[in-house]
Chain A
Amino acid sequence: MSLVELEAARKRALLLSGVFFSLGGALILLLGPLGPFLGVPLVVLALNQISAFPKKAKQALVAPLAEALGFRYWADRGFSEEEILASGIFHSPDHYHAEDLVEGEVNGIPFTSSHITLYRKVEEVYEDRKRSYYQVFFSGVLYRFRLPFAVEKEVRFAPPGSGRGAYTNKRLEQVVLESPEFNLFFQVYGEDQVEARKLLTPRVQEALVELIRHLRTAIGGAVRGRDLWLAVKAVKGRERFPKPPILLPVTWTYEAWKARYQDELSKASRVVEILRLEEEAKRRGAFLGGSEAS
């Protein structure tokens, strides 16, 4: 969908929502008891127009930018709950939401990323009344990189103070590494002390610290088998791909946000670059016609 077509769709959505609101409101005010039965559905339709457009616009604006980088993007898809739990980084949520799925390959390393919001149910008693609500315990982007080499034993790293967190694997033991700077940002757990150190060499420790400085937020991660999972906490109040508002012309918002969309889409490439995953794969002989030496 071109910008011109999108702008036309925006105007159409605005017009329709205006008509439905006005009509719905008039029916509610003028038709007495019957009014809400006829008016409320129209108001709902109006709200639907207002909420549907930004999602549609986000898909239309971000997808071409993703394609230009050789990636694929879906605004309304994300990791499933099984995939989120497969990372082993998070506790099982009571409710979750996932969106902004990006899939692609960087220097021969396939990746998938999605914004996820995980909620836990909180029940409390206040003045003899029980109430429950959902509290966010993680909001951010989850990346999965499919490594061309396998890591035999599980290794996990998270901000200090996380403890064992969601690490349900009882074989995990704490691994204390040499770099004081790395230890400021991460606490490491691994199934094997040697394998954990083989993965988290001084160079990789330095790279992870550089990654945190580049992304300017907390990171947690896990490596198991051929999957490297990275959970990047969202900066408060900042959406991964902000939805274009319906009230502003699309061309204005596109120009203002194109750089931000591109920057967000390039993060996976930056991760591969900073962690030098391709180099690591070559060094391990992982690009030898698909077979890895045993």
Chain B
Amino acid sequence: MLLVMETLINFILLGVFFLLFGIYGIYNTVVARKNQVENAFGAVEAQLKRRRDLIPNLVEAVKQYMAYEQDLLKRLTQLREQAEKAQGEERLKAEGELSRVLGQVWARLEAYPDLKASGNFLQLQAALTEVEDSIAAARRFYNQAVTDYNNVLEQIPFAFIARAMGLTRKSVFTIPEEERAAPNLGELFGR
């Protein structure tokens, strides 16, 4: 009888040990996923900052050539300052608008062959292209991190720990509605 009791207690203790070990592993996984999302968002922010830092150089390089686009360049500068000062959702909105206006600037460049021949401008354009690639890559990283995080939130047994920690689903980066629509070429080329 005593032996049976002792064996039972040992099994229970072993079970508790494995349960605690399991909870430890699950908790660490949830925390790792959450931190990866924050890490990925930081990567996106860093690339957006790099782009904002290049915009004054761009405006300076093109303003002498693009004499008829002063309004567009002014808007670019304003958006850059807005994005710099804003936080959270407002900043993302401003960055989205900045992407759209930058797209308009590139489209209007076709009318200024002198500018396109400038070595300085070409180097700047290459730098901005590289930054846009980095932004796209950082967004993909963020989306992957959010997908992994959301999966962990909804899968058993991670969901129990995640709910206990008060964690909620996050949204991935999506293309804004205006970018999903077909481009208005008339507006783009200023006609």
Q: CA–CA, A100 to B138, complex, Å?
A: 41
One of B20-28, B126-134, B157-165 at the interface: B126-134
* A193, B43: Cβ atoms closer than 8 Å: yes
- Asked whether any CB of chain A lies closer than 8 Å to the CB of B167, the reply is no
* B124, A293: Cβ atoms closer than 8 Å: yes
User: How many Å from the CB of B34 to the closest CB on chain A?
Assistant: 16
Q: CA–CA, A266 to B126, complex, Å?
A: 31
B47 — which chain A residues lie within 8 A by C-beta?
194
Q: Known interface pairs A194-B134, A195-B137, A198-B134. Does A283 touch B123 (Cβ–Cβ under 8 Å)?
A: no
- Fill in one digit per residue for B15-49: 1 if any A CB lies within 8 Å of its CB, else 0: 00000000000000000000000001001000100
Q: Is the interface of B mostly helix, strand, loop or mixed?
A: helix
Q: Known interface pairs A193-B43, A194-B43. Does A283 touch B129 (Cβ–Cβ under 8 Å)?
A: yes
Partner of A293, one of B123, B133, B140: B123
Q: Is the interface of A mostly helix, strand, loop or mixed?
A: loop
- Asked whether any CB of chain A lies closer than 8 Å to the CB of B144, the reply is yes
B138 — which chain A residues lie within 8 A by C-beta?
194, 197
User: How many Å from the CB of B87 to the closest CB on chain A?
Assistant: 22
Q: Known interface pairs A193-B43, A194-B134. Does A178 touch B126 (Cβ–Cβ under 8 Å)?
A: no
| Residues of chain B in range 93-144 having any CB-CB distance to chain A below 8 Å | 119, 122-127, 129-130, 133-134, 136-138, 140-141, 144
The number of inter-chain residue pairs (CB within 8 angstroms) is 50
User: How many Å from the CB of A286 to the closest CB on chain B?
Assistant: 8
* A194, B129: Cβ atoms closer than 8 Å: no
Q: CA–CA, A193 to B130, complex, Å?
A: 16
Contacts A285-B123, A288-B119 known; 6 new A-B pairs at CB < 8 A? A178-B140, A194-B134, A197-B137, A201-B137, A283-B129, A291-B123
Q: CA–CA, A177 to B133, complex, Å?
A: 16
A124 — which chain B residues lie within 8 A by C-beta?
none
B134 — which chain A residues lie within 8 A by C-beta?
194, 198
- Asked whether any CB of chain B lies closer than 8 Å to the CB of A267, the reply is no
What is the chain A residue whose CB lies nearest that of B123? A293
B123 — which chain A residues lie within 8 A by C-beta?
285, 288, 291, 293
* B133, A285: Cβ atoms closer than 8 Å: no
Contact-size category for A = 10 to 19
Partner of A194, one of B127, B141, B148: B141
What is the chain B residue whose CB lies nearest that of A289? B119
User: How many Å from the CB of B125 to the closest CB on chain A?
Assistant: 7
Q: CA–CA, A294 to B130, complex, Å?
A: 9
Q: CA–CA, A293 to B133, complex, Å?
A: 14
Q: CA–CA, A168 to B148, complex, Å?
A: 27
Q: CA–CA, A195 to B125, complex, Å?
A: 19
Q: CA–CA, A293 to B121, complex, Å?
A: 10
Q: CA–CA, A1 to B1, complex, Å?
A: 96
* A193, B127: Cβ atoms closer than 8 Å: no
Q: CA–CA, A194 to B123, complex, Å?
A: 22
B148 — which chain A residues lie within 8 A by C-beta?
176
B137 — which chain A residues lie within 8 A by C-beta?
194-195, 197-198, 201
* B127, A294: Cβ atoms closer than 8 Å: yes
* B141, A193: Cβ atoms closer than 8 Å: yes
* A197, B141: Cβ atoms closer than 8 Å: yes
Q: What are 25 A-B interface contacts by the 8 Å CB criterion? A: A177-B144, A178-B140, A178-B144, A193-B40, A193-B43, A194-B137, A194-B138, A194-B141, A197-B140, A197-B141, A198-B134, A198-B136, A201-B137, A284-B129, A284-B130, A285-B122, A285-B129, A288-B126, A289-B119, A292-B126, A293-B122, A293-B125, A293-B126, A293-B127, A293-B130
A293 — which chain B residues lie within 8 A by C-beta?
122-127, 130
A178 — which chain B residues lie within 8 A by C-beta?
140, 144
Q: CA–CA, A291 to B120, complex, Å?
A: 11
What is the chain A residue whose CB lies nearest that of B127? A293
* B122, A288: Cβ atoms closer than 8 Å: yes
User: How many Å from the CB of A279 to the closest CB on chain B?
Assistant: 13
Most-contacted residue by chain B among A193, A195, A201 (CB, 10 A): A193
| Residues of chain A in range 249-294 having any CB-CB distance to chain B below 8 Å | 283-285, 288-289, 291-294
- Fill in one digit per residue for A180-201: 1 if any B CB lies within 8 Å of its CB, else 0: 0000000000000111011001
